[in-house]
Amino acid sequence: MEKEKFVYRPFNGVFWAIIAFLLIAYGALFLLLRNCPMQTREIVMLAISVCLVVYYFIYKYRLSRDKEYDELYYSKVGGFSWWYELPLHLCNINMFLVPLGILFHNRYLQGFAFFIGPVGAMMAILMPSTSFNNTSIFKERMRGYYITHFLITFNCLFLAVIGIYDPRYSDVLPIALVGMLLSFIIYVFSMILRKKGIAIKANYFYTVEPEENKLLEFFHRFIPYSFLYLIPVFILFIPYMYLLTFIFNLLTGR
């Protein structure tokens, strides 16, 4: 057993230490950027996004050489393949949606990242699979997993904090529909990978099976069909997005 003070579990001391560190870091960044022109804020966010994408692929490469993780996961799916590591999950797809939303000034991409990106990343953080839970945060796979997911969470929220994206009630329903359509497209892509034998356990956006995710397992018990069990999740997204918009407007005095 690793030394207890370094072991990561949701809501333990290590979890809160990471939250506190990132709050301080992003708080300091906010103070530095608050009086800067919008172009400067966008450049900083783009730079952070590029660094995160580069780190993500370095982390996945290192993960492919992790013998322990190979025994825990890759050996069950026929070995490491980049087809399993494409950034197409609800969390890591936002590594690309954030910079694309900024570059093209597309508020729906920005809104999807702001509203839904943190939910996907926090689901991974709070409901990790066995491979990423109850072990030292200093293990390479643990560092990579939590650095990427925590930074995705904070990056998505930071879009609104520094004023690049301003949440509006009119965005909610289009973003929910875009999310459902995107999920279906990714579901079809996952099924093609499975049927063709390219990646027999492909499960992007958790559209095929819950994979130890407690929330999705709950819905899957009542709707035991691929993709369809996600529909209640998207329905729940709607009041959540309205509530988040209300809170944001309340805090900013809009």
The per-residue pLDDT for 4 is 67
Give the C-alpha distances (Å, rounded to integers) separating 47 from 57, 75, 166, 252. 16, 36, 21, 26
Question: Does the pLDDT value for residue 40 go beyond 50?
Answer: yes
What tens digit of pLDDT does each residue of 159-177 get? Answer: 999 999 999 999 999 999 9
Q: What is the mean pLDDT of residues 201-219?
A: 90
Q: Report the distance separating Cα 62 and Cα 70, nearest Å.
A: 11
Nearest to 204 by CA among 188, 190, 219: 190
Question: Does the pLDDT value for residue 3 go beyond 60?
Answer: no
- pTM for the whole structure: 0.90
Q: Report the distance separating Cα 10 and Cα 115, nearest Å.
A: 22
- Residues in CB range of 240: below 8 A, 6 or more apart: 115, 119
Nearest to 67 by CA among 58, 55, 75: 75
How many CB atoms lie under 10 A from the CB of residue 112? 24
What tens digit of pLDDT does each residue of 107-162 get? Answer: 999 999 999 999 999 988 998 888 899 999 999 999 999 999 999 999 999 999 99
The per-residue pLDDT for 76 is 82
Question: Does the pLDDT value for residue 52 go beyond 70?
Answer: yes
Supply the Cα-derived Rg of the chain in whole angstroms.
Answer: 18
Q: Report the distance separating Cα 46 and Cα 131, nearest Å.
A: 31
Amino acid at the residue 180: M
Helices (H), the chain: 13-33, 38-64, 67-72, 94-103, 107-126, 140-161, 172-195, 214-222, 231-252
Question: Does the pLDDT value for residue 1 go beyond 50?
Answer: no
Query: Under a CB-based contact definition with an 8 Å cutoff, are residues 230 and 216 in contact?
Result: yes
- Residues in CB range of 194: below 8 A, 6 or more apart: 200, 201, 202, 208
